[in-house]
Amino acid sequence: MTAPVSAVTTEQQNPRTRALDAMSVTELLTAMNEEDRRVPVAVAAAIGQIARAVDLAVAALGAGGRLIYLGAGTSGRLGVLDAAECPPTFGTDPGQVRGVLAGGRAAMFEAVENAEDSVEFAVADLQAIELSAADVVVGIAASGRTPYVIGGLDHARAIGAATVALAANPNAEISEHADVAIEIDNGPEVLTGSTRLKAGTSQKLVLNMISTATMVRLGKVYGNLMVDVRPTNEKLVDRAVRIVQAATGCDRSRAESALADADGHAKTAIVAVLCGIGAAAARERLADAHGFVRAAIDDAAPAGAAPTDQR
């Protein structure tokens, strides 16, 4: 039986902030900060389940599938945000990591009434992106009981896709509708029921972990450098240069030259510098190494190369 809304942790009153309206600004902010400090501790308790979600995402993307975030309201918007950051950060195709939000694009900026209550909308939205058994769906719901998310997870499982549930409540209903259940128990919100606060923060942290760890395991990172970054603006061009310098120990001029030869691709430039080869040969090495820089340069760096501790 579904628990009443009053029993959901995120809907309960926080005894530490019952006098929120009587606090000074400094007291109020201190109370918020103290509550926020509980979030990473709660997330740490779920690392085992988060790791299982990463394994599913790596398997899906590695086999040509997609990582799909599905949610409503703040939860859905956080999924869209994480998905949108993957192409510039990791050089992924925009379709590889997608955010599906109840109510569509309009709901990113304004609430779309009743969208989160519809199972049918979720099914239609997933059908619209041609969800397949090769994909993995991460259903995100702070309450852990959103019909839109439950419907989407059920549809995904029915067609054979892997599924993950991410909730900000223990014993969440959506946990029963997924292969992997991540439950983050942050306790009641500072402002009763306002899940854009601790619940939203914990969801953002978990999504950061899922996407980043997945991309690391797919070879999108060398050391702690985002070597597949897309240098689409002046800031990112400068970052790409510094990434090549950090990974190889070369000077800025050499990094800029290698990047130019590599059409701006830091990963290719790094392999070219460390192996003393041209961009075309570096691309071949990377292809043979399935995109992993460390494997591409293994035992291939010339004696004069000066890589940093990123190796």
The distance of Cα 177 from the centroid of its chain, to the nearest Å, equals 21
Which residue is catalytic, options 116, 173, 183, 189?
116
As beta bridge partners, residue 68 has 98, 137
Closest CA to 292 of 199, 198, 195, 216: 216
Q: How far apart are CA 265 and CA 262, in angstroms?
A: 5
Structure-block tokens of residue 170? 């223990």
Which residue is catalytic, options 11, 34, 35, 85?
85
| Burial zone of 200 (CB within 10 Å; 0-12 exposed, 13-18 middle, 19+ buried) | buried
Q: How far apart are CA 132 and CA 146, in angstroms?
A: 22
Closest CA to 167 of 209, 195, 193, 208: 195
CA distances from 279 to 9, 107, 159, 273 (A): 55, 44, 42, 9
Q: How far apart are CA 57 and CA 135, in angstroms?
A: 8
Do residues 87 and 230 lie in contact, with contact meaning Cβ atoms separated by under 8 Å? Answer: yes
116 is catalytic: yes
110 is catalytic: no
Active site residues: 85, 116
